[in-house]
Amino acid sequence: MTILGNAAAGLAGLAAWARPALRGRWLWILTAAAEAALLVQVTVGAVLLSDERYEDVDRIHPFYGLVAVATVMVAYSSRESMRGRLEVFYGFVGLFLMGLAIRAVVELS
């Protein structure tokens, strides 16, 4: 869900930047839903990692979750300085989060 959601939000953001007719509330709902799904997944991962039964987890995987949460926080705090370019900014953020999620899944294999 996280990979597909952020891919959709990223591509939608870039499309809305290129074609202003595509801009609207739907884009921000999609982006918020994708980022919320990511935050839920990272939270569940952190809770599972705190369980003593999962001690042999590779430590790079939680690092990707930390980077993803930091990315969402920095993107949210930077939105005022990106006025006029929010669609392209959140488009690239969505694609970056998608890539980060793919990388985290590949690390598990």
Q: So where are the chain's domains? A: 2-108
Instruction: State pLDDT tens for residues 20-67.
Output: 999 999 999 999 999 999 999 999 888 888 887 777 667 788 889 999
Name the H helices within the chain: 2-18, 25-50, 60-77, 86-108
Quote the pLDDT of residue 97.
96
Instruction: Specify whether the CB–CB gap between 87 and 14 falls below 8 A.
Output: yes
* Percent of the chain predicted with pLDDT > 90: 70
Q: How far apart, in whole angstroms, are the C-alpha atoms of residue 90 and residue 81? A: 13
Q: Cα-flanking dihedrals φ and ψ of residue 24, to 5°?
A: 165, 180
Name the H helices within 57-85: 60-77
Task: For the beta carbon of residue 35, count every other beta carbon within 10 angstroms.
Answer: 24
- The single-letter code of the amino acid at 101 is A
